[in-house]
Structure 1
Amino acid sequence: MSHQNDPTRNVPYDPLPLTTEDHPSHALYNAPPSPDPNLASFASSQYNASGSSIPTGAAQPRFMGQAALYDSPGGNRDSYASSQHTYPNQGSEYSSSVYALNDAHAAPLAAYRDDPRDNYFAGEPGSLPMTPVGQSRYLEEKRTTYAAPRAKSRRLVMIAGIVAAIILLLLAVIIPVYFAIVKPKLSKDTSSSNSSPGSSGSSGKPSQPGSPTKNAIVTGGDGSKVTTENGTTFIYSNTFGGYWYWDENDPFNNGARAQSWNPALNETFKYGIDKIRGVNLGGWLNTEPSHPSFQFISPALFEQYLTQNPPAVDEWTLSEAMRADTANGGINQLETHYETFITEEDFAQIAAAGLNFVRIPLGYWAIETRAGEPFLANVSWKYFLKAIQWARKYGIRINLDLHSLPGSQNGWNHSGRLGTINFLQGPMGYANAQRSLDYIRILAEFISQPEYSNVVAIFGIVNEPRANVFGYDALSSFYSEAYNIIRTASGIGEGNGPFISFHDGFLARSQWVNFIPNGDRMALDTHPYICFNGQSDAAMSTYVTTPCTTWASAVNDSMTAFGLTTAGEWSNAVTDCGLWLNGVNLGTRYEGTFQDGSTWPKIGSCDTWTNYKAYTDDTKTAMRQFALATMDALQDYFFWTWKIGASSQSGDIESPAWSYQLGLQQGWMPTDPRDAIGVCGGADPFVPPLQSWQTGGAGAGNAAAPIAWPPASITSGGAVTLLPSYTQAGPIPTLSGPSFAATPSANAGNGWANAADTALMYVPIPTCSYLDPWVGDASPPSPLCGGAARRDIDEPAITPAP
C-alpha cells in the first residue's frame, strides 16, 4: 500500500460500489475495502455498506471499472471524476477509465472489461475475452493487415520524432484544460449550488461561445504556471491533486479543487464528515490578531508610530497617526499593507499545504464609518473581494469573521479600539448593538447571493464577545436576532447562505446547547489557547499530548450535543513570548513583565522561544507533534495565523510559534495535515454525521429564533427602554461586487440576496442627543431618545432594498 504522502495515491477516481447489496447479481462487488492508513482504526476497520460510496475507513481503489454498466445498461462508464468531468462523445471507446483497453470493433460496452476471466461477459453480443497481459489483439490484427513499413531515412525518423514530441506537448497542455473546462453534470447534492466547472456561479449558464479571451490556459495542476491579474507569474506546486481554475470569461466558475480528497467548490462540503482544515489571515484586513494580542502580526506598521503621543496601539490610534503623517502617504499606507501582506500566491500556498479553508477577520469599517471614527472606510472590502476571487481560483472556502463592532465587543485592541466595552454594555450598548445587526445584515445579504455562497461558506458574526462582562442573556438575545436576520437574507436549508458561527463568549460549550432549537446550520466557535495561562519553562516535548487530554473529549461531546464545533483560532505557542503578543510594550508573563495589574514571577528569557533559528531538531519535532495532536483533538480548525510579518527593527519574525507559513518552511508544521488523524488515539470519538437538522436537512429551520430581542436590560446601562436607541430611517450602504475588464457584463449581483428584505438602516434620530459610541461609563444624554421616545416617532416609509 502506498504511503499517504505519495502523490500517486491522490488520483481522484470515482468510488466503486463494493457490495452485493448494491449489485446482488454480481459477486465481483463483494470485495473487502482497502483500509485507510490515516485512521486509527486502520488495523481493524470494518466495512459498513452505505450505498455506492466508499465506506468509512476505506481508501480509494486504485482502478475503477465500469461500475455504471449494471445501473444503466447500454450506458458507458465515464472517465475521471465522472460526476464533473466527462468526454462529450458518449459513444466513444475512449470514454472508459483507461484508454484503448477494449477492442475498437467490439460491441459497445459489452466489449469493455477489466477482469481477465474469458467468460466474464460470455453470452453478451460482440463480447471477446480480455487480451492477455503483454499482448494486444488490436496490434496483431494491424500487423496482419499491413505490410511491414519500409526502412525510413534517418532524417525522416528525426522529423517523426519531433512531430511526436510536439503532439505530446500539446496533449500535456490540452488534456488537463479540457477536463476542467468540460461542463459537468450537477449532482443531486450540488443542484442548489448554482455553479459547476465551465458554468457561471450566478446563473448556471455557460459563458457565450466565441467570447474573447486573453489567457487560453484557464486551469492547471501541480507544476503549472499561474498568471496573476497584474501579469506576474509563479509555478503552482500542489502534490495533493488540487487544481486551480480561472477563466476571465467565466469569473464566477466554481470548478477549482484545493486537494483531491476535498470537494470542489461546486460540490457539497459535508460538515461533520469533510474536515475543516483552515488557517486565519490575521493582521491583513484587520491589522492585528484576535486574542487580547494584536500588532505582533504586522509590527512594522506600528513601530514607526511608537514614539508619538499617544502611541499607535490599535487600529484607531494607528489610523489617527497615519492620517497625520501625510509625508509618508497618510492613511493610504493601510491600503499598501492590504496590497502586499496577503497576495494571490498565499492562497495557492495554502492549498498546497493541504488546507481547505481560510478565516478572514474583517472590521465593520469595510462597510462604513461614522463621525469621529478614524478608520479607513470601505477600502478593505475591495481586498475582501479579491480574497473571494483568489479563494475561488484555488478551491478554498472562506469563513468571514466580523472581528470588530462599533463601541468594541471586548475592549481589546483587535476590536478596533483598546479600552472600554460599549457593545451590549453601558449607555450606548443597545444603540451599538442595533448598528452591529445592520452590518451583519448587509454582509449576510451579500454573501448569500449565488455568486458568492459557494465560496463564503461560514459567517462568524462576532469575534470574542466577552459574555462574562455583559452576560449570557444579552449575548444569546443578540445571537438569536442575528440568526433571524441572516436566515431572512439567505433562506432556510442546505445550500441557502452560510453556516452561522457563534463564538462561545468564553462560556462553557454546554451552555449553548439547543439555545436555538433545530437551528439551521449553526457552528459553535471556540479559541483554545494555553499560552495565556500560567507559564512554565518545561521543554516543548512535555506538551505533545496536552491537546488530546485537554480538548479532544470536549470537542467530541459538543459535536454531538450542539453540532458543528470549530476552533476558530489556535497556535503552537505554549508561552506568551513574542513581540507585542500581549500588546505594545506590555511585556510578557514568562519574563515577569506583563503589565496587567498582577504580579507574574519571572520564568526565564523569551529568547529561548522566539529565536527559531536556534531551535534544535528535537524542538521542531516536538512542535510538530503538538500541532498534530491539536489538529486531531480539535477536528475542524483554523490556525492563527498564516503569516507573521518581520519586525522593522530586528528584520526578523519574533513570534514564530504563530506562523503556519514559517512552520512549514522550518519543519515544525506538517506538510500534510492528514498526518494528524488518529494522533490522539480516538478515545470517546464523535461518530459522524451531524444530525440532519444541524446541516440544513430534515427538521432544520425555525421561522424565528425563540429568544426575544432586545434583552430587557443592559449591563451598566439599565433598562433598554431607558437607553439611547436608533431608528430605521437611513439608506442601506449596499456592498458592491467586483468588476472584470474582460467581461464587464458579468453578473456580480446587486449586493442583496433577498429583495423582500426592505427594512432601512438604524440611524440616529435627528431631534435626539447621543453619547459618543465609544464613551464607556457615562450618564445618559438629554433629551433621552430611548425605547419609549422611539415609539412616539412616526416610522419611516419602507422603500425597496437595493
Structure 2
Amino acid sequence: MGDASRPRFMGAALAGEAGSSRPSLESGHHSYPSFDNNSSVYALNPEHGGTESRTGSQYFNYRDDPNDVPMQPLGDSRYLDEKRATYAAPRQRSRAKMILAGVAAGVIALIIIVVVAVYFGVVKKNDNDKSTNNDSASKPSGTSGSGGKGSSSNLVVTGGDGSKVTTDNGTTFTYQNSFGGYWYWDPNDPFNNGAKAQSWTPALNETFNWGVDKIYGVNLGGWLVTEPFIVPSLYEKYPKAVDEWTLSEAMAADTANGGLSQLEDHYKTFITEEDFAQIAGAGLNFVRIPLPYWAIETRGDEPYLAKVCWTYFLKAIRWARKYGIRINLDLHSLPGSQNEWNHSGRMNDVNFLNGPMGIANAQRSLDYIRIIAEFISQDQYKDVVVMFGITNEPEEAIFGLDNLQRYYLQAYNNVRLASGIGEGKGPMISYHDAFLPLTQWAGFMSGADRIMLDDHPYICFGGQSAAPISSYATTPCKTWGANMNTSMSAFGMTAAGEFSNAVTDCGKWLNGVGLGARYDGTFAGSTAVGDCDTWTNWPAWDDTMKSGIKQFALASMDALQNWFFWTWKIGNSTETGKVESPAWSYQLGLQNGWMPTDPRQAAGVCGNTAPWDPPLAPSATGGSGAGQIPASVSNSLHWPPTTISNVGGGATDLPTYTPTGAVPTLSAETFSSASGTGTINAGNGWANSKDTAGAMVAIATCSYLDPWVGQGIAPPSPLCSGGARRRDVPLPLITPPPSPS
C-alpha cells in the first residue's frame, strides 16, 4: 500500500502528455495542470477553449464542449404522449329490489372478469409473445408454461399498480407503479419473461431496440462491491479499512462479530427485492450491477469472501426478471487492480497490463470474462442480463491504449465464443472509454457484433466553486450533449454508465477514507471555498435547493440520452445516523423531492430536437454483417501484447499462465416446481459446449510473483526451468465441457 489512499473517482480529472494518468489533481503518482472546464466552476465561466491534443503543452478537456446543434424551445418533448385508456362507469340499477341481487352478481362477475383479463391480457399474451418474438421464442427446456400443467388454479402470478407482492421469504408489500408496468412470477415457470417495467419499455420477452428504446438506468453500487462512501457503516466499524481488501482482513480477524460472514449480512439487507420493485416504479428500466472477480474464485492469500456474492447476483437476476428490468453486469474489480482505486478491490497499485504480473493478471481476467459470458449467454438468462461491461474504468494512462485495445478485442472474442458471432445472440458488450475522449474510440472494432461505449462523466472532482446549484441548470447540456450525439454516429451505441448529481466533492469518504474534500480544504493541497455542510445536510435543504438539483438531474438525463445514475442507494453513517453523500442517492432524491418521479420529464430540457437520428448500424444490433471484424484489425491487435509498461525487458520475460486448469464454472439457482413435478432446468452454466479450453493456471516449472506485487519489481530469474514452453506456446489440455462445481 502507498503512503496515502487514492480517491475513488479519478476519471473526471484531466490529463497531460500521452501516457500520463488522469486521476485526481492530488494523485500520489502524477501531477497535472489546472483546468476548470470539467469542474464545478464550469457554469460560472463564459466561453471555454481547449483542444483534444494530448501532446506538448496542450491538454484536452475530459469532456469536450459541444458543437452547435439545432435547438428547439426549452421544455418541448421529443416523445409522443402515452395513450391512455378510459373506462366508463358501470350503469346502476334503478329498482330497489334489484340492489341485493345486483351486488352479489356484480361481485361474482368482477371476479370472473379479473381472472379472464389477467389470463388473456397478461398470461396468455406472454405465451403468445414468446411464440412469435425471436428474442425468446423458445422456452427453456424443463419449464412449464404460465398457467400450464402443474400450475395451481389460485396461484397469483402477476399484478400491476396496487397489487400485493409476496417475496421469496414470505413477506409482502404493495407494488406501486403508475406507469403501466406489471410484475410476473410463477414458481412453476421461473424463466418466464412476461414482466414489463413500464408501458414504454418492451417486456423482457420483447425486443429492446438499441438506440431507439431509451436506457433509463441506475447502478446498484456498494452492494456486491463495497465502497466506503456508499456503505460507510461497514467501514466505520474498522478504522484502518480503506478498500474491500483491508475491510475483508479486518472482518476476518473479528471472529467475535461473525468474521467475514458480516459481508453476507450486508448482501442480504442492502439491496432487496423491494428495491427492484421501486426501481421499476420510478420509471427506470435497467440496473447496472458491479460484480467483482471474486464472485468466481480467489487465489493465494486474496482475503475476499469468495463466491458468495454470486448467489446474490442470481437473486438479482430473479428479481429483475420479476419486475421486467434488464441488467448490465459490470465486471468492476480485476485481479491485481485495473485502476488502483478502492472500488477495484485494492488501492494504490495497478497490476493489470502493468508490472511483472501484468500479462498473467490480464489472462486471468479474460478467463473470468469468458466464464461470466458462458453463464449469461444461456437461454435462461440472455433476455435479462442483456449487457456485459467487461472491465470498469481501466486506467489507460498507465498501460497504454494499444494493450488495452488488444485486451478489449480478446475479451470480445471470448464473449462471442460463448454466445455466437453475427447472429444477434448474447449480450451487448460494453467498453469503458478508459478516460479518453469519446472521439478517440470512433471506428474502434468496426463491424463488431453489438458493442457499446461506456462513458462516466462527472464534474465534481476538479476545481471547486461556491456557486449555488441554480448556476448549473444547463451545464450538462453544454458539456455532454454533443459528445454523446457524435459518438452514437461515429462509434455506435454510447451510454453513460455512471453520473451523479454532485457538483462538488463533498460527501463522507467520497474521495477515499480519511482523504477529505477539496471543497472545504480538507483534501491535501486544496484550498477551501466553502463549508461542505451546504451540500451534505440534506434535511435542511429548502425548495430552491431541491429544485436546482432536480433541474441539474433532468439536464443530465437529457444530455446523456442513455444513462445509469450512480447510484440507487447510499447507506446511513452510524456516526450521524443519516446519508452523508445525498447527491449520489437516486432513492433518497425520490423520497425527498429532488429527483424526477418520471425520467421522461427530461426530454427536451436541453432544447435539442434530435439528439441522435436512429437506427444504429447493423453491427450494433446483430444484423446482417455483424461480427465481421477486418483481418487487419485482428492482426494488429493480436493477443497477447509484446511489451508491458513499467517493467524491464519484453513480455516474453514475464510470468504467464497456461490454459490447462479446471474451469470454475458458475452455478445457477435451484428451482423446483411448486406442483412437485420435479426440478426445473436452470442451465449448467456453460452456453457453448464447444468452448472446451481449460482455465489459465500456473506452469509447474515456472516461477511467479504475488499477483498484487506492484510495479518496479523485477520478474523472477530464471523465469522457468526444465525447458518449459513460454507464453502462448503451451498447448491447452482440452477438457470436457465444464459443469457446475
How many residue pairs get matched?
A: 654
Query: Which has the larger displacement, 661-670 or 180-189?
Result: 180-189
Structure 2 partner of 1:660: 586
Which amino acid in structure 1 is aligned with residue 136 of structure 2? S
1:522 and 1:431 map into 2 onto residues whose CA distance is: 26
1:329 and 1:178 map into 2 onto residues whose CA distance is: 50
Structure 2 partner of 1:712: 642
TM superposition shift of 1:157: 4.0
SS in 2 for 1:519: coil
Name the CA shift for 1:215/1:449 in 2 (closer, same or farther; >3 Å): farther
Structure 1 partner of 2:716: 781
Aligned with residue 185 of structure 1, among 128, 133, 147: 128
Name the CA shift for 1:152/1:506 in 2 (closer, same or farther; >3 Å): closer
Structure 2 partner of 1:164: 106
TM superposition shift of 1:40: 5.5
Which amino acid in structure 1 is aligned with residue 216 of structure 2? R
TM superposition shift of 1:335: 0.4
Name the CA shift for 1:174/1:570 in 2 (closer, same or farther; >3 Å): same
2:199 and 2:423 map into 1 onto residues whose CA distance is: 23
Does the 8 A contact of 2:130 with 2:205 survive in 1?
Answer: no
Structure 1 partner of 2:687: 753
2:532 and 2:73 map into 1 onto residues whose CA distance is: 41
Name the CA shift for 1:791/1:502 in 2 (closer, same or farther; >3 Å): closer
CA deviation string 1:452-506 (max 9, x = no partner): 0000010000000000111100100000000011111111235400000000001
Structure 1 partner of 2:21: none
Structure 2 partner of 1:360: 289
Name the CA shift for 1:653/1:755 in 2 (closer, same or farther; >3 Å): same
5 Å-filtered alignment, 1:510-589, equals 510-589=439-518
Structure 2 partner of 1:771: 705
SS in 2 for 1:275: coil
TM superposition shift of 1:185: 2.9
Does the 8 A contact of 1:212 with 1:249 survive in 2?
Answer: yes
Name the CA shift for 1:612/1:153 in 2 (closer, same or farther; >3 Å): closer
1:220 and 1:312 map into 2 onto residues whose CA distance is: 44
Structure 1 unaligned regions, length at least 5: 1-38, 46-55, 65-97, 100-133, 135-148, 289-294
Tell me whether 1:305 sits opposite 2:235 in the alignment: no
Aligned with residue 643 of structure 1, among 559, 565, 569: 569
Which amino acid in structure 2 is aligned with residue 298 of structure 1? V
- RCO (CA 8 Å, sep 6+): is it higher in 1 or 2? 2
Name the CA shift for 1:203/1:524 in 2 (closer, same or farther; >3 Å): farther
Does the 8 A contact of 1:722 with 1:788 survive in 2?
Answer: no
Structure 2 unaligned regions, length at least 5: 1-70
TM superposition shift of 1:520: 0.7
Structure 2 partner of 1:603: 529
TM superposition shift of 1:699: 2.2
1:187 and 1:415 map into 2 onto residues whose CA distance is: 39
TM superposition shift of 1:59: 4.3
Name the CA shift for 1:424/1:546 in 2 (closer, same or farther; >3 Å): same
2:596 and 2:276 map into 1 onto residues whose CA distance is: 18
2:435 and 2:76 map into 1 onto residues whose CA distance is: 39
Name the CA shift for 1:775/1:794 in 2 (closer, same or farther; >3 Å): closer
Name the CA shift for 1:395/1:792 in 2 (closer, same or farther; >3 Å): closer
TM superposition shift of 1:788: 8.0
Tell me whether 1:740 sits opposite 2:674 in the alignment: no
Does the 8 A contact of 1:759 with 1:798 survive in 2?
Answer: yes
Aligned with residue 255 of structure 1, among 168, 190, 194: 194
Which amino acid in structure 1 is aligned with residue 249 of structure 2? E
Which amino acid in structure 1 is aligned with residue 611 of structure 2? P
CA deviation string 1:639-679 (max 9, x = no partner): 00000000011100010000000000110100000000011
Structure 2 partner of 1:94: none
Structure 1 partner of 2:333: 404
TM superposition shift of 1:693: 1.9
SS in 1 for 2:260: helix
CA deviation string 1:708-766 (max 9, x = no partner): 11111010124211110001110001101111243552111111111111110000112
Does the 8 A contact of 1:300 with 1:645 survive in 2?
Answer: yes
1:681 and 1:204 map into 2 onto residues whose CA distance is: 49
SS in 2 for 1:226: strand
CA deviation string 1:283-318 (max 9, x = no partner): 000012xxxxxx111000110110xxxx11100011
Name the CA shift for 1:785/1:173 in 2 (closer, same or farther; >3 Å): farther
Does the 8 A contact of 1:189 with 1:268 survive in 2?
Answer: no
Structure 1 partner of 2:118: 176
SS in 1 for 2:199: coil
1:533 and 1:506 map into 2 onto residues whose CA distance is: 14
SS in 1 for 2:680: coil
SS in 2 for 1:537: coil
Q: TM-score, length-normalised on structure 2?
A: 0.84
Query: Which has the larger displacement, 202-211 or 698-707?
Result: 202-211
2:585 and 2:423 map into 1 onto residues whose CA distance is: 34
1:574 and 1:202 map into 2 onto residues whose CA distance is: 50
2:512 and 2:531 map into 1 onto residues whose CA distance is: 18
2:501 and 2:704 map into 1 onto residues whose CA distance is: 45
5 Å-filtered alignment, 1:66-465, equals 154=97, 157-172=99-114, 174-182=116-124, 183-186=126-129, 190-194=133-137, 200-201=139-140, 206=145, 209-213=148-152, 216-288=155-227, 295-306=228-239, 311-465=240-394
TM superposition shift of 1:593: 1.4
Structure 2 partner of 1:590: 519
Does the 8 A contact of 1:177 with 1:219 survive in 2?
Answer: no
Does the 8 A contact of 2:422 with 2:628 survive in 1?
Answer: no
Name the CA shift for 1:442/1:268 in 2 (closer, same or farther; >3 Å): same
CA RMSD of aligned residues (A): 2.6
Name the CA shift for 1:405/1:553 in 2 (closer, same or farther; >3 Å): same
Does the 8 A contact of 1:202 with 1:252 survive in 2?
Answer: no
CA deviation string 1:101-127 (max 9, x = no partner): xxxxxxxxxxxxxxxxxxxxxxxxxxx
Name the CA shift for 1:794/1:401 in 2 (closer, same or farther; >3 Å): closer
Q: TM-score, length-normalised on structure 1?
A: 0.78
TM superposition shift of 1:160: 3.7
Name the CA shift for 1:493/1:267 in 2 (closer, same or farther; >3 Å): farther
SS in 1 for 2:480: helix
Name the CA shift for 1:701/1:203 in 2 (closer, same or farther; >3 Å): farther
Aligned with residue 677 of structure 1, among 590, 595, 603: 603
Structure 1 partner of 2:10: none
TM superposition shift of 1:44: 10
